[in-house]
Structure 1
Amino acid sequence: MKERVRAVLITPHDTTLVIKRVRPGVAPYWVIVGGGVEESDASREAALLREIREEIAGEAQIVRPLYQLKNAKGEVEYFYVAQITSWDFNNRTGPEFQRDDRGEYILEEIPLTTEAVAALNLLPEEISTVLREAIERGDPFATV
């Protein structure tokens, strides 16, 4: 069974980074940075740090696990909280960015508030709910 890892990336400004996906014939939606765990990855956490480097040329420190779900494809997705210290979307290297048929990827920095998260079509929907509930509880995202 394929495993996927994703990170709620907390910036030094207490915001979070998300990727807006724009594809022909589909309403825009947002996703959290991450991707598939490869056989060559030493662990899920190593896979997540690799994905952050590939997708946003970022360096991050994983803080803790946040949530786990099984997606519609039957894959298990592991969500983590991570503090990101640097990123450069212009230097991304992930294989998905080399394909012309994948639509646009736009990196956005949004406030870590329930209103800002609710305003996005953040997928999967379940993680949008989890994130908003954590914010409402006053979850200390930026604590290492």
Structure 2
Amino acid sequence: MAKRTTEIVVGLFILAGGAALLFLALQVSGLTFKPAGDTYKVYAYFNDAGGLAPRGRVSMAGVTVGRIRDVSLDQETFQAKVVIDIEARVDSIPADSSAIIRTSGLLGEQYIDISPGADMESLSDGDTFYETQSALNLERMISNFASGQAAD
């Protein structure tokens, strides 16, 4: 009888550990079981999207205000077209704001940081960011420095 109780306790412990690992994996990957809520869509065009990926973070003043929906190549301008879902509660982003690709930490994930402008009008569904700043490409900078193109 005691052996059976021990086996049940160990089984429950293993199930709890598996559930904890699943929870941590979902938190790290950005996936969630809760619905996304109301959002509106805006666009940003970058010369170099770097390592941006769908479900990536979009923040403003360090606070997450949205997620990246899609990253694709615009066939007309040959720039990276990024579709961003902004939470509906954040409805007063100035229309002349900038979208900047940043990296969290030295080798961390890349995300979009919104730098607010001063325009009285706000971004709405379907608008495009006024100004963007592409990802910092470390390999390209080192290559340019090594080949002597950094001074140009």
The reply to whether TM is greater than 0.5 is no
TM-score when normalising by structure 1 = 0.27
Higher RCO structure (Cα 8 Å, ≥6 apart) = 1
TM-score when normalising by structure 2 = 0.26
